[in-house]
Amino acid sequence: MSDTEGTEPASTEVQEAKAKYVGFVFDTATFTAEQDKMLAWAESVGETDPRFTDPSNPDFQAHPTFTASLVSRRVLPEDFPKIGGPRGIDGGKAVVIQQPIRPGDRLKASATIADIYEKTGRSGTMTFIVQRMSFVNQNDEPVSMVDWKMIRNP
């Protein structure tokens, strides 16, 4: 079942926001995959596999969800409307791994709005805004994509 299955027809406000914002890069950021940060992330998620916890392992790499810890300067485009309410709550993250991230890799991230949709539940209509950060390494090879859902409910 997709995230948007069972959704209500989008309000005019959401339709206009989708037309204006979905797919457009609104921020970029650069990061270096530092060994200490990679190890700290692996420990914080309870990882025990030596590929992610032992720098002497010949296949040492960042944990698959490492890029979920990296954020751009902006969460939403500067002029993004307050559709669905002024505040948002974290609706979770989904990470797609395209290839391993190694210590010293230089990562460039591009932030876009991937989707905007509404669902009606017990507490009323909620607006979901999906921010996507796509990461490439120093060779411009895709390494990871992180979708973060923000839920707004008036």
Residue-wise pLDDT tens digits, 9-19? 678 888 999 99
Task: Specify the CATH superfamily of domain 12-152.
Answer: Hotdog Thioesterase (3.10.129.10)
75: left (phi over 0), alpha (psi -120 to 50) or beta: alpha
First to last CA, the chain: 26
Pairing of strands 124-136, 106-121: antiparallel
- What number is the average pLDDT over the span 76-99? 90
Residue-wise pLDDT tens digits, 42-85? 999 999 999 999 999 999 999 999 999 999 888 889 999 888 87
Q: Give Rg (Cα) of the chain.
A: 17
Write down the pLDDT at residue 7: 57
- What number is the average pLDDT over the span 95-123? 94
pTM for the full predicted model: 0.86
